[in-house]
Amino acid sequence: MSPLSPSLDTIAVTAGRTASGGSLAPPLWTTSTFELGGDVDARRLATTPGEARFYGRHGNPTVAAFEDAVAQMEGAEAALAFASGMGALSAVVLGLCSRGSHIVAARQLYGGARQLLSGPCARFGIDVTFVDATRPGALSEAVEPGRTVLVVAESPANPRLDLVDLDELGAIQGPFTVVDSTFATPFGQRPLAHGVDLVVHSATKAMAGHNDALLGVVCGSRDLVEWLWGFAVLQGAPASPFDAMNGLRGLRTLGVRFRQQTATALALAEALEGLAAVREVRHPGLASHPQADLARRQMQLTGGLVSFEVAGGADAARRFVAALRLVRHAASLGGPETLVCHPASTSHAGLREEELAEAGISGGSVRISCGLEDPADIIDDVRNALRSTALPASPTEPALTATA
């Protein structure tokens, strides 16, 4: 078990309050700019990384409160918030790499991250090598000393919940290492404690946790975060104060929400494992997960996601999604509502056929993000909807029947 501060729940409630005055709720600073007055050293304010009282693209007090809280929860010196998870990821990649740089990346990545690395990066002359990051040693073996600037991984990875060994990632010397820890949140794992340089979150998901904010954040050493700020202020994708306020409000209850979502996901995954209508049920807390030992070693909570394959392929998956009554069809995760998504047509819709195959995504793949409804209601809804997939999709396919 990696060290987890026993007071993470307490940190989540107490952090990010230094500039709140007496307000219990985070004050919302909607201003785009600050009066500087006549006798202030404006040049100093304009060039101070993260300065919260100069101009909104440089920093904002509400955003700074969210950043402080996330940094404390990740055990980081500093954090920097962005308008989205992709804003954070693109700042890391484009802020650290130049023409001629080499990146080693997991091929198990969120679709947008994969597209950023294979599209714009190639166009800018940044060379990316994709590897199967579940294979021990794969990331470090692909590092080219002197040329590799960045190693990019995601764990658990969207959508099949493959894991990356964080100790192994953190032990890589030379390039900067970054992990997208969105699916884990700080309650699931704390990558910096394993020696990883940067941790990125789409706080849009479980951190903000209510489907009402679009928000990203990156945490790491103060030096590295200040360097990234120097790019971010030019990139121009800072977090909106309103979304940062919702993000901070989300962090206050993240522990209870994430624990319940983890318990529900585990119960759902276990209920699905016996059914003939599904294949390859995946959740990092299942004993059948190919990296179950690694999950036990590096994760404190395994999160609210379950992914599986609907037997019968794309047509059966479509019937399954259409037959759900409580579970909603939408392309996000980590909120109070249980959501189903069909990665091939949503989160990974921009990938080419061979990229989908490499990522292990087929037409029958579905991903469920467990919300906060009664777990029994969620499991019933999924079971009932799976019954409707028993119709043969085509005359050549055998009829599939659910056993429960």
Ligand X SMILES: *Cc1c(COP(=O)(O)O)cnc(C)c1O
Residue 84 interacts with ligand X (CB under 6 A)? yes
Residue 158 interacts with ligand X (CB under 6 A)? yes
If you compute the radius of gyration of the chain from its CA atoms, what whole number of angstroms results? 21
Residues with catalytic function: 57, 110, 180, 205
Residue 182 interacts with ligand X (CB under 6 A)? yes
Residue nearer to ligand X on the CB measure, 312 or 334: 334
The string of DSSP letters for 313-352 reads HHHHHHHHHHH-SSSEE-S--SSSS-EEE-GGGTTTTTS-
Residues 98/271, Cβ–Cβ less than 8 Å: no
**Pattern of binders to ligand X over 304-343, x per CB under 6 A?**
----------------------------------------
Identified binder of ligand X from the candidate list 16, 50, 75, 112, rule CB under 6 A: 112
Residues 187/259, Cβ–Cβ less than 8 Å: yes
Q: In the bound complex, what is the minimum distance in angstroms from residue 147's beta carbon to ligand X?
A: 26
Residue 86 interacts with ligand X (CB under 6 A)? yes
In degrees, to the nearest 5, what angle opens at C-alpha 326 toward C-alphas 322 and 329?
45
| Residues 254, 368: Cα–Cα separation, whole Å | 19
Residues 378/338, Cβ–Cβ less than 8 Å: yes
Q: Which residues of 200-214 are buried (b: 16+ CB within 10 A; e: fewer)?
A: bbbbbbbbbbbbebb
Identified binder of ligand X from the candidate list 95, 216, 255, 371, rule CB under 6 A: 216
Q: Which residue is nearest to ligand X (CB)?
A: 85
In this chain, which stretch among 28-36, 114-122, 175-183, 227-235 interacts with ligand X, using CB under 6 A? 175-183
User: Which backbone phi and psi does 103 adopt, to 5 degrees?
Assistant: -120, 135
Q: In the bound complex, what is the minimum distance in angstroms from residue 213's beta carbon to ligand X?
A: 9
In this chain, which stretch among 23-31, 82-90, 164-172, 277-285 interacts with ligand X, using CB under 6 A? 82-90
Tell me which residues touch ligand X (CB under 6 A). 84-86, 110, 112-113, 154, 158, 180, 182-183, 202, 204-205, 214, 216
